[in-house]
Amino acid sequence: MGFTPLPERYGRKTVDEWQPTPKGDAGQRHARKPMVTGFTYQYPKTLTITESNTTERIYLFILPLGMQISWLGISAVRITTRPANEDVVVLCDPYDPHEVQAKRGKMVADIVTVSVPEHPLHSATQEIRGRLEKPPFIIDTPGECEVNGVIIYGVPAVNTVSAPHKKVTLYMIETEGLSLLHLGFLGQKTLTDAQLERFEHVDVLFVPVGDPASLEIHDAVAIVNQIEPRIVIPVAYHTAHIGVKLLGAEKFIKELGLEADEPATKIKLAKKDLPAEETKLMLLEPE
């Protein structure tokens, strides 16, 4: 007898609720539950389950490792997720490395979101290669779509700070039971009621904090407080490897009033890792 694993990352059940599946009958879940008295796993694919009145049995099992989040500089964020059986790479607001004197090869992604078209710091889709011999799926307008199991909502917004004013798209990305919001080139004092209605439950917020042509510091803090995300990750601030004039993140962090751990090069995140109540500030080193 084998087991059909139902791990949390797919919105499924805990180990004591798994259903046994006889060999050769995959997909047919029986009503009887196994009497599981304990379990351990060893990375990456071995799960040992102890059933009452039986010996230990070892089964192959794909573990729920959670998504990985990387910051590539400016507003560019890479999210590597596995909503089904294969990795999906989402890249938000890619920049042209030639415009910012950055040494970087072409970036790779399955899905690319663009908050403001025809902007070298937010829409350099020509710098992106697709994965698995497929061109990337590019989203640059408001709307709703599902690509490779990842649901993306594009919500219209504006930037009234830049000259001339620009129409902007904010992207809510839903995958692995998490909601991630990328504010891109937003330049509003506050979010509208219609925008907030769409952003009612945000787990991870990427907010620009150092671009003079985007959000001012007090506006960025006000929008974080409007959204009340579980995790806030600042982007679009000065780093040594990007040759573009941006402010540092220090003033934003001070005004936000939250303490952060040391910056990480990558964040691994699953739904179970979310803070229970208060918003957590997390910092990334640009990759």
CA distances from 151 to 120, 134, 145, 175, 268 (A): 26, 19, 6, 7, 20
- Domains belonging to the chain, first-starting first, are 2-60 (no CATH), 67-281 (3.60.15.10)
Contact 134, 155 (CB under 8 A): no
Per-residue confidence (pLDDT) for residue 101, from 0 to 100? 72
Per-residue confidence (pLDDT) for residue 162, from 0 to 100? 84
Q: Which has more confidence, 180 or 34?
A: 180
pLDDT surpassing 50 at residue 82 = yes
Backbone φ, ψ for residue 201 (5° rounding): -125, 100
Range 146-159 average pLDDT = 96
Question: pTM for this structure?
Answer: 0.78
| Rounded Cα gap, residues 75 and 185, in angstroms | 8
The maximal CA–CA distance of the chain, rounded, in angstroms, is 73
Contact 81, 92 (CB under 8 A): no
Range 154-175 average pLDDT = 93
Per-residue confidence (pLDDT) for residue 65, from 0 to 100? 58
pLDDT surpassing 50 at residue 253 = yes
pLDDT surpassing 60 at residue 273 = yes
User: Could you give the percent of the chain with pLDDT greater than 90?
Assistant: 58
Range 102-117 average pLDDT = 86
Per-residue confidence (pLDDT) for residue 30, from 0 to 100? 33
Per-residue confidence (pLDDT) for residue 98, from 0 to 100? 80
Range 73-98 average pLDDT = 92
